[in-house]
Amino acid sequence: MASSCCACNTSFHSRICDMACTTAFSHVARAMALRMFSRIARLPAIRTGLPLPIGLVLGQELIHPPRMASRIRISTLSFGHFARLETRLHPPTEEHALCHALTTASIATEAPSPSDSATYDAGKIQVLEGLEPVRKRPGMYIGSTGPRGLHHLVYEVLDNAIDEVQAGYATNVDVVLYADGSVGITDNGRGIPTDEHPVTGKSALETVLTVLHAGGKFGGESSGYTVSGGLHGVGVSVVNALSERLEVTVWRDGQEYKQTFQRGKPVANLFSCKIPNGDSSRTGTYVRFLPDSQIFTSTTSFDYNTIGGRLREVAFLNPEVTITLKQEDEDPEKVRFSEYHFAGGLVEYVVWLNQDKVRLHEPISIRSEKDGITVDVALQWCSDAYSETLLGYANSVRTSDGGTHLDGLKAAVTRTLNNLGRKTKALKEKDENLSGEHAREGLTCIVSVLVPNPEFEGQTKTRLGNPEVRKIVEQAVQELVTEYLECHPETLDAILEKAIQAYKESERACFCEAAMAAKTARELIRRKNLLKTSRLPGKLADCTCSDPRFSEIFIVEGESAGGSAKQGRDRLYQAILPLKGKILNVERKDDAAIYKNEEIQKLILALGLGVKGEDFNKDALRYHKIIILTDADVDGAHIRTLLLTFFFRYQRSLFEDGFIYVGVPPLYKVERGKQIHYCFNDDDLKKLLRTFPSNASYNLQRFKGLGEMMPLQLWETTLNPAQRMLKLLTLEDAAEASLMFSLLMGDKVEPRKELIRSSAPRVKLEQLDV
């Protein structure tokens, strides 16, 4: 029987394709099978490339990959400010199975013929002019076209206003979310120059909005700023390129200048008139833009809380500025307003982060300047915190991936405590030095640096790379923290006691089997060829796929749900780990208690997480999709929250790198005749029922738990990549997330009560699960 392969469209006998596609062969055997396949099918010479999935023959039927399902992103505010949930229908891709199987093999490709090469001439080279590159590849400039990239547009304009604040020319910034979906940002700085630019022949205003790499922040004598968050001159021009409409107004020299753009192109020339109301001294810039729905296809709606969180931290970093945020709406009850002004700066920031914790001392404030680099640090230890909260900023830009400024801080804190511990005899000669993890346990620290020539990685500026900054931060922190602690011996004793206690508990924990296994997890649990020598949890139903990029694990609630999931899964690439009851609340426990907990032991070993505090290495992770799957009730939500708390406190990088997902099981099953429909919430059910005739008869079942579902039902609704719905959890604001975890999962009850009281008016009684 002959068929056509979905990988190469070449006719061949199905048995040969089965040899080439099966995962039972080793890499050598697969290569041999491919060579045999190329000879029989009379293909040209095979060139091996990257491992990619190809078609699989089951029996005599060739299974072709289904068409790519469209991705759906639902912008919703998730648990606290922990993340924004991007809901997608995940089809089989390179990361999933083709239908009911996934294989990896090197695809056969034909060498290009001479005639093909001859057609590749100068006419094939494209030259993108103006802002075309931005619209062609927006992700290169703003990270993504999802909610994160959408809000990045606001931050680009905001950073320009804050640059005026840092230069000493602005004191007020106003942000308005308009009812039509547009955003307006106003500052009272100097205003963008409007005179003719000598190179472009256009006004400077039009130049910075329509020409990439045009701006006043490149440094040197001709620069308009000593310190700025902008570097490449692409920020506001990118916003212009990705906006359906952008309006800019500038007040300077007693004149009001206006110009309008559509998708990056000017609609008319720059217009000017005298400033109305006789306020000739007014200066500043107003930018209002409407995101282009052709670019941001998933959502163009801005989230008030997300923008408010960014404005709050900018206000903390710049105590001289007052920032307002307003959300307009046709419904007066939905109009919102917030004002942010913090004269205490970083000290007030640390106090705000630690408001629900037991603080060991007043915040330590450090401010130093050397070689044109300004260092501003505030830090505080808390007795009831067992993890660190370190936030870094460079020129008021949050560096979520860290950088040299945070490296300098970590080194200084560890060295200072070890030196003072030896000096005060708190650490004996026979004792080992405190590690960075132990020295920083319970530490909350904000590091903000102003650097004339910052070296950021990429346009989104997530990591600072200046090597000279580390030395300056390290020296300033070590000198001033040492001076403070020597002047406050009671504070030093409390901090050393906490660090030494953490060290001793860690040493005791190392004697337990779980911690020892966790320490060697990164060496032992690499992949399947080493699994025979590693102690994986007995209840883990592992997959057979050997590549973590294509493997996924479902963490399910209870034995009954685990049994259904194990029977319904595709064991080739899906692993199942059932948990018994609710895991430990790690927000209230130290490391020793974490390692002793049986369910957490299973998670650490099954996922290959290693030891808490170690630098994260995704190559050691056994699955690149960690899917939390719990019942759609209050208990399920609680278990999900406990798991999220564990992952956030134990290994935060799992969220930053996009490895954590939440599975969404259906809540209802509707049978009408031979048709079966699954609904994920009450809204889905109402929409479905509206499509039925008024006299239609149907059977409605509400699932109380995953254990009620048959294995086939679980596969069709929750496990099958072609039909399931997953929520990807990403870290939007680490400080806000940490605060929310402390509020919801910490020891103090009164803050939770206040949260419940303040949130009660927004809760619909019919949605309560009682």
- pLDDT tens track for 519-545: 544 444 433 333 333 467 778 999 999
Cα–Cα distance, 257 to 261 (Å, whole number):
14
Q: Is the pLDDT assigned to residue 146 strictly greater than 70?
A: yes
What pLDDT is recorded for position 420? 95
> Lowest-confidence range among 38-52, 126-140, 363-377, 617-631?
38-52
Q: Is the pLDDT assigned to residue 26 strictly greater than 60?
A: no
- Chain segment 733-762, per-residue pLDDT in tens: 777 888 888 888 888 888 888 888 877 777
Cα–Cα distance, 292 to 700 (Å, whole number):
41
646: CB partners within 8 A, 6+ apart = 583, 584, 586, 600, 603
Residue 563 region by backbone torsions, left for phi larger than 0, else alpha for psi between -120 and 50, else beta: alpha
Cα–Cα distance, 585 to 596 (Å, whole number):
13
pLDDT band for position 769 (50/70/90)?
low
Q: Indicate which residues carry an active-site annotation.
A: 557, 631, 633, 635
What pLDDT is recorded for position 535? 64
pLDDT band for position 768 (50/70/90)?
low
Cα–Cα distance, 685 to 677 (Å, whole number):
9
SS3 state of residue 340:
strand
CB 375 within 8 Å of CB 449: yes
What pLDDT is recorded for position 219? 57
CB 92 within 8 Å of CB 722: yes
Q: Is the pLDDT assigned to residue 22 strictly greater than 50?
A: no
What pLDDT is recorded for position 323? 97
Average pLDDT over residues 386-398: 89
The one-letter amino acid code at 97 reads: A
SS3 state of residue 369:
strand
Q: How far is CA 270 from CA 183, 204, 273, in A?
A: 21, 10, 10
Burial category of 330 from C-beta neighbours within 10 Å (exposed 0-12, middle 13-18, buried 19 and up) = exposed
Cα–Cα distance, 536 to 46 (Å, whole number):
39
Q: Give me the chain's average pLDDT, please.
A: 78
pLDDT band for position 32 (50/70/90)?
very low
- Chain segment 71-122, per-residue pLDDT in tens: 333 333 333 333 333 333 333 333 333 233 223 333 333 344 454 555 777 7
Domain 513-666+724-744 in CATH 3.40.50.670? The answer is yes
- Chain segment 199-227, per-residue pLDDT in tens: 888 999 999 899 887 766 665 555 667 67
Q: Is the pLDDT assigned to residue 15 strictly greater than 70?
A: no
Beta bridge partners of 175: 185, 325
In whole angstroms, what separates CA 178 from the centre of its chain?
A: 27
Domain 133-340 in CATH 3.30.230.10? The answer is no
Cα–Cα distance, 339 to 579 (Å, whole number):
45
Show me where the domains of the chain are located. Answer: 2-108, 133-340, 345-509, 513-666+724-744, 667-702
Cα–Cα distance, 770 to 768 (Å, whole number):
6
Q: What percent of the chain has pLDDT over 70?
A: 76
Burial category of 51 from C-beta neighbours within 10 Å (exposed 0-12, middle 13-18, buried 19 and up) = middle
What pLDDT is recorded for position 230? 56
450-477 burial: b if 16+ Cβ within 10 Å, else e? bbbebbbeebbbbbbebeebbbbbbebb
Average pLDDT over residues 604-625: 82
User: ∠221-223-228 over CA atoms, to 5°?
Assistant: 130
What pLDDT is recorded for position 551? 94
What pLDDT is recorded for position 217? 60
CB 324 within 8 Å of CB 174: yes
**CATH of segment(s) 345-509:** 3.30.230.10
pTM above 0.85, yes or no: no
SS3 state of residue 525:
coil
pLDDT band for position 593 (50/70/90)?
confident
Half-sphere exposure of 269 (CA within 13 A, CB side): 6
- Chain segment 295-325, per-residue pLDDT in tens: 998 889 999 999 999 999 999 999 999 999 9
What pLDDT is recorded for position 222? 55
Q: What would the DSSP string read from start to end of 59-77?
A: TTEEEPPPPPPPP----EE
User: ∠271-277-280 over CA atoms, to 5°?
Assistant: 70
